Structure 1
Amino acid sequence: MLQGFELALMPILEAFVRSATSSAAPEHHQQALEQLEVAVLSTLVRLIPDAELTAQRPASTPAKAQVVGDLCERAEQVMRQRLQRPLDLATLAQACECSKRTLQLAFRNKHNCTPMQHLRQLRLAAMQEQLKLGASVKEACRTAGLPPHHRAHRPSVL
């Protein structure tokens, strides 16, 4: 398409240069510039098919959504397996066989949070479940992989 645009634009540019150089009056330069603008826009409209002007990319394809879902499920599985142990983003990404950025984007798309924020939510949910079962705060924190002095039980943190 660019080659067609260049071919269609060449006579217009030549006419503009002739017009601009043939007269020293500023009003002639302005008129030539306006003619050039109209000519360029009409050439663009003529060369770009209507489908390209009105087509919109889909926000997400089913295949992309499936890949994101699979990646997040794999990451959540790893998080649950290692809930009691420290886990950083690099280790999680390596376990999921993807880059840290890919993992972050997948979680942002699916859960609207980062993987580490999601891990924290899983740990807090595990702690809450242990507390409901009658475990002490210290035991609930240990089971959820949180330090024993964790402040998750305070309303300001939740």
Structure 2
Amino acid sequence: MTRLELQAIDKFYFRNPESSFCFFIPEFGQFRGMVAERSICMTPQRLAFVMLPGESAKLVPSAEYVRLLQVSIGVEFLLKEASMHGSPFVSLMSLNELIPGHEQLILACALHLFKFSLAVDISPERVLQPLEASIISLLAALLGSSSEVLQPVESDTTSHSSYVQMALTYMEDNLAKEICLSDLCKVCCVSSRTLQVAFKTVMNRTPLQVLHELRLTQLRGLLLQGLEVGRACESVGLLHSGRISANYKRMFGELPRHTRSHRVLTIEPVGLV
């Protein structure tokens, strides 16, 4: 577990080792950015983002000072523990959707780990190991149940469609803002599991995947109107980056700058004297 302190910086890049899974919970300050192909936002005391082995992140702080905790765990060890709590076929990425709602326990353990790791007069067996075991046990239990989280369950199809529509309306009205899964759950007044099932049933994608696609679609509309790429990205809550350009090309078959360059130009008629 590591505490990161970022002060007076515009951008921060880093890469997660191939052998570890990690996640971040902020203590102070806010930022936004990209982790692999996923847009992320950071609010204190809530899960900021999850990083799979080998993934890179680009963070842009929106405050002069940002402090966050990084919790890293060996992949093989975590998956082995998870298999003891449920299905052996688990996805680390599912933790991105499962951790919300459990941050306070993880944060409390992480803060105590950081505090006691600096002390020289404590017994690791009595303090550190139980705290580490609490975090591992929680994550393993979440992963062990993850095979059920995104499986459609028998429910009212009308309710599913209603939740999806409410979430989509909120997304469309707030594209330029930071939107997290918990924000969508509050709007729909449902749990993260219920909302995940609704989106999986109706759209066969997660809410955050749909949000990203919606932002790219809106981005294309602005580019066709002639808006500069950077400003267009900002207007829909995206950071202009190579990753965004790659996602855009995968979805529309061309780069954002090409969409803008061949936009239809309207020529105003000139009156004759």
What range describes the TM-score normalised by the shorter chain of this pair? 0.5 to 0.7
1:105 and 1:126 mapped to 2: Cα distance?
25
RMSD across aligned positions (CA): 2.0
1:150 and 1:84 mapped to 2: Cα distance?
19
Q: CA deviation at 1:152?
A: 2.8
The gaps in structure 2 that reach 5 residues or longer are 1-152, 252-273
Residue number among 208, 226, 229 corresponding to 1:137 in the alignment: 229
Cα deviation 1:20-61 (Å, max 9, x = unaligned):
xxxxxxxxxxxxxxxxxxxxxxxxxxxxxxxxxxxxxxx967
More helix by share: 1
Residues matched between the structures, number: 98
1:76 corresponds to: 168
Structure-2 change in CA distance of 1:150 and 1:75 (3 Å): farther
For the pair shown, the structure with the greater C-alpha radius of gyration is 1
1:146 corresponds to: 238
Cα deviation 1:89-140 (Å, max 9, x = unaligned):
0111011100011000000000000000000011000101111111111111
Q: How does 1:24-35 map to 2 (within 5 A)?
A: none
Q: Is contact 1:138-1:149 (8 Å) kept?
A: no
Among all aligned residue pairs of Structure 1 and Structure 2, give the percentage whose two residues are the same amino acid.
30
Q: TM (normalized to structure 2)?
A: 0.34
1:66 corresponds to: 158
The gaps in structure 1 that reach 5 residues or longer are 1-58
Q: TM (normalized to structure 1)?
A: 0.57
Q: Is contact 1:141-1:150 (8 Å) kept?
A: no
Structure-2 change in CA distance of 1:122 and 1:150 (3 Å): farther
